Amino acid sequence: MKIAILNQKGGVGKTTLSVNLAASLSRACSRVLLIDADPQGSALDWAAARQAEPLFSAVGLPKPTLHRDIEQIGQGYDHIIIDGPPRVTELARSAIMAADLVIIPVQPSPLDVWAADEVVKQIDEARIYKPALNSVFAINRKIVNTALGRDVREALASYSVSALDASVCQRIVFAESAAQGLAVFETEPDGPAAREIEALREEIMQKYGNP
């Protein structure tokens, strides 16, 4: 499956979810390629910070031809994760056209819900050419023990795109792991962050994995 993680809003967790989802899929015995489609190259920075053996392959491809190049580059992989760029650009459009599923991370704040408007529009445009394209919101940085997660679900319900039941909380271990190029399951194997990522992967594979 080809999964693009996209939202033109900066800092919502595109790279964090990309690397942890890629790591989680690799652990589940899949051959995974992570494509960094962001000119900032954050996913590649993550890979470069890593001292341990790589869990998956990672390449930088911040090019608007990604949707054309992906078949060749992705040969031999079970899953391809595309870490998308911030801002609405032709790079984001190409990442959408390259994907079977677009995951839109959103933080539980009204500003984030409003900002999602643009990526949803871009996905709707892409569906004209690619009717089978799937898209779904993933709530990230939910604050434990607040109602904000529930509120954001209600606010997101105004979009045609649904939200995953699994969500990811604000947890310092995400930033700590990123600094060492590790996935959260490597830093805290039985921790809540690792469990949240596993639940996210399971729900994604269950709902979109075997069309």
Ligand X SMILES: Nc1ncnc2c1ncn2[C@@H]1O[C@H](COP(=O)(O)OP(=O)(O)OP(=O)(O)O)[C@@H](O)[C@H]1O
Determine if 140 is a binding residue for ligand X (CB under 6 A).
Answer: yes
Q: Which is nearer to ligand X, 60 or 209 (CB)?
A: 60
Least Å distance, CB 10 to Mg ion, is: 8
Q: Name residues contacting ligand X, limited to 71-90 (CB under 6 A).
A: 86
- Residue 178 site contact among ligand X, Mg ion, none (CB < 5 to 8 Å, cut-off depends on kind): ligand X
Determine if 42 is a binding residue for Mg ion (CB under 5 A).
Answer: yes
Least Å distance, CB 76 to ligand X, is: 26
Among 138, 168, 194, 204, binds ligand X (CB under 6 A): 168
Contact predicate 97/135, CB 8 Å: no
Among 20, 24, 26, 42, binds ligand X (CB under 6 A): 42
**Which helix (H) or strand (E) element contains residue 81?**
strand 79-83
The number of helices, as runs of H, and strands, as runs of E, in the chain is 9, 7
Alpha helices in the chain (DSSP H): 14-27, 42-49, 66-73, 90-98, 110-129, 148-156, 172-179, 184-187, 192-208
- Beta bridge partners of residue 81, listed in sequence order: 3, 34
- Residue 108 site contact among ligand X, Mg ion, none (CB < 5 to 8 Å, cut-off depends on kind): none
Determine if 1 is a binding residue for ligand X (CB under 6 A).
Answer: no
Among 46, 137, 174, 185, binds ligand X (CB under 6 A): 174
Determine if 13 is a binding residue for ligand X (CB under 6 A).
Answer: yes
Query: What is the spatial distance between Cα 187 and Cα 168, in angstroms, rounded to a whole number?
Result: 16
Query: φ, ψ for residue 3 (rounded to 5)?
Result: -120, 120
Determine if 141 is a binding residue for ligand X (CB under 6 A).
Answer: yes
Determine if 14 is a binding residue for Mg ion (CB under 5 A).
Answer: yes
Residues 6+ apart with CB under 8 A from 153: 139, 163
* Spatial CA neighbour of 38 closest among 94, 105, 112, 119: 94
Least Å distance, CB 166 to ligand X, is: 13
Contact residues toward Mg ion (CB under 5 A) are: 14-15, 42
Contact residues toward ligand X (CB under 6 A) are: 10-16, 38, 40, 42, 86, 140-141, 168, 170-171, 174-175, 178
